[in-house]
């Protein structure tokens, strides 16, 4: 067993990277990748797409926070594009066929890229000049049928969730800047519910997030399954058994994002799971306390029901990202039955209240908002 103590942090997010310049969207429709240069004050200033369509339905998406690269994966392929905020997508830095890919994720310091399949996770060295480097570690995990992975924004933890085995493992990162080889994953004392069960619409399920150090000094993890969000604290590097946010039998949470500087967890859900195409989508924020307990979705401290279409509400809030420098939330709205706006942006207050800022994609530009990450 290795040392799981977490060094004291002076800030909720000590990683050094440039402020967000916008976001990147991955969809099931051509064009499958679009990057948007955006901020709440001036709105959308530019958008970029690769010179040719990537050609696969995306399962995972991650932008390197220091800039320069965007990673994307499908079920059978993972790729890394060169990217510049002033000129857009360049050539492919890396393109590889691989079976059962589930997620790609850059570390907060940009020196590691995690590539997860249903059966394991590989960590690759990554440099700003050369991009993808050598394989540094194949993570030994007791999680099987992996659905998602995540690095915390402060670089303190790495999270794996899946549909079998240990279900959830937390890896305290010993060298945050370089992501030195990870040791043994830490598991819950009580086996948690499998990730992504009964998740309804979509071919990507079992989303997870890990918070890093929040403003209250606590660390949290979460994942979605069976009409609930399972969430809990990480104490001395070990995940506590999760509590639940219960959405009832006819609503399904999908997108998850911690807002560490405000002690909040943000979720998206379909407001009526059995008929999401006519019921719109729902954005909620939940306060994170020192003592996590099971609650219902009505216990949110902030909510926003979005009318996304013209003839009906349409859409499904499938993925969400937080841009800390703008106090902004961006939601990707998928399955756009009558939905004219696959992207919606908000500001979020310390109270958890949302204010819609803009819907930056015009009708017909992109037909589907599936996965989103900030640039």
pLDDT category at 339 given cuts 50, 70, 90 is: low
List residues bridging with 355 in a β-sheet. 347
- Residue 16 resides in a domain: no
* pLDDT tens, position by position, 40-55: 888 888 999 999 999 9
What whole-number percentage of the chain has pLDDT above 70? 83
- Residue 282 resides in a domain: yes
**In contact, 253 and 227? CB cutoff 8 Å:** yes
* pLDDT tens, position by position, 258-314: 999 999 999 988 655 444 444 566 889 999 999 899 999 889 999 887 655 444 444
Of 94, 193, 100, nearest to 135 by C-alpha is 94
Q: In the predicted model, what is the mean pLDDT of the chain?
A: 85
Q: What is the pLDDT of residue 87?
A: 95
Q: What is the pLDDT of residue 10?
A: 36
Residues in CB range of 262: below 8 A, 6 or more apart:
215, 348, 349, 350, 352
**In contact, 105 and 62? CB cutoff 8 Å:** yes
- Residue 349 resides in a domain: yes
> pTM of the predicted model, to two decimals?
0.91
Of 47, 89, 53, 51, nearest to 70 by C-alpha is 89
Q: Which residues span the domain enclosing 249?
A: 23-374
- Residue 69 resides in a domain: yes
Residues in CB range of 8: below 8 A, 6 or more apart:
none
* pLDDT tens, position by position, 215-268: 999 999 999 998 899 999 999 999 999 999 998 877 788 899 999 999 999 998
Of 5, 49, 8, 1, nearest to 29 by C-alpha is 49
List residues bridging with 266 in a β-sheet. 257, 285
- What are the CA-CA distances from residue 231 to residues 8, 208, 258, 354 (Å)? 23, 10, 11, 22
Q: What is the pLDDT of residue 201?
A: 57
* pLDDT tens, position by position, 84-98: 999 999 999 999 999
Q: What is the pLDDT of residue 12?
A: 43
Q: Is 219 left (phi over 0), alpha (psi -120 to 50) or beta?
A: beta
Of 186 and 281, the one with more pLDDT: 186
Alpha-carbon span 43 to 182, nearest angstrom: 41
Q: What is the pLDDT of residue 19?
A: 79
Place of tokens 């030195």: 180
- Residue 60 resides in a domain: yes
Q: What is the pLDDT of residue 366?
A: 64
Q: What is the pLDDT of residue 169?
A: 96
Count of structural domains, the chain: 1
Q: What is the pLDDT of residue 342?
A: 75
- Residue 15 resides in a domain: no
Task: Residue 72: give its domain's CATH number.
Answer: 2.130.10.10
Q: What is the pLDDT of residue 362?
A: 47
* pLDDT tens, position by position, 3-61: 233 333 334 444 445 678 999 999 888 888 999 999 888 888 899 999 999 999 999 99
- Residue 135 resides in a domain: yes
**Structure token digits, residue 314:** 């349409």
φ, ψ (nearest 5 deg) of residue 276: -60, -25
- Residue 10 resides in a domain: no
pLDDT category at 81 given cuts 50, 70, 90 is: very high
Q: What is the pLDDT of residue 312?
A: 44
* pLDDT tens, position by position, 99-155: 999 999 999 989 999 999 999 999 999 999 999 999 999 998 999 999 999 999 888
């Amino acid at each position: 067993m290795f040392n799981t103590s977490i060094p004291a942090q002076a800030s909720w997010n000590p990683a050094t990277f440039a402020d967000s310049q916008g976001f990147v969207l991955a969809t099931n429709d051509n064009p499958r990748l679009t990057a948007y240069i955006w901020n709440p004050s001036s709105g959308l200033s530019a958008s970029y797409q690769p010179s040719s369509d990537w050609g696969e339905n995306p399962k995972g998406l991650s932008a390197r926070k220091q800039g320069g690269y965007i990673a994307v994966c499908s079920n059978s392929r993972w790729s890394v594009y060169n990217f510049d905020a002033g000129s857009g997508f360049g050539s492919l830095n890396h393109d590889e066929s691989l079976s059962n890919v589930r997620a790609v994720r850059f570390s907060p310091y940009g020196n590691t890229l995690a590539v997860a399949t249903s059966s394991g996770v590989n960590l690759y060295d990554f440099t700003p000049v050369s991009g993808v480097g050598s394989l540094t570690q194949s993570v030994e995990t007791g999680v099987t049928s992996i659905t998602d992975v995540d690095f915390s924004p402060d670089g303190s933890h790495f999270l794996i969730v899946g549909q079998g085995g240990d279900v959830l493992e937390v890896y305290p990162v010993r060298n945050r800047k370089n992501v030195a080889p990870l040791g043994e994953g830490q598991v819950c004392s009580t086996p948690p519910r499998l990730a992504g069960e009964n998740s309804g619409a979509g071919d990507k399920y079992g989303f997870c997030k890990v918070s890093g150090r929040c403003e209250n000094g606590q660390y949290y993890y979460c994942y979605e399954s069976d009409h609930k969000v399972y969430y809990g604290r990480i104490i001395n590097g070990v995940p506590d058994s999760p509590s639940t946010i219960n959405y009832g039998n006819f609503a399904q949470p999908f997108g998850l994002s911690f807002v560490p500087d405000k002690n909040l967890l943000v979720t998206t859900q379909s407001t009526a799971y059995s008929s999401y195409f006519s019921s719109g989508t729902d954005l909620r924020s939940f306060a994170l306390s020192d003592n996590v307990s099971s609650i219902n979705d009505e216990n949110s401290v902030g909510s926003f029901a979005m009318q996304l279409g013209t003839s009906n509400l349409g859409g499904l809030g499938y993925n969400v990202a937080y841009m800390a420098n703008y106090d902004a939330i961006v939601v990707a709205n998928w399955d756009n039955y009558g939905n004219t706006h696959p992207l919606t942006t908000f500001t979020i207050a310390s109270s958890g209240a949302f204010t819609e800022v803009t819907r930056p994609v015009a009708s017909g530009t992109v037909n589907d908002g599936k996965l989103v990450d900030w640039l």
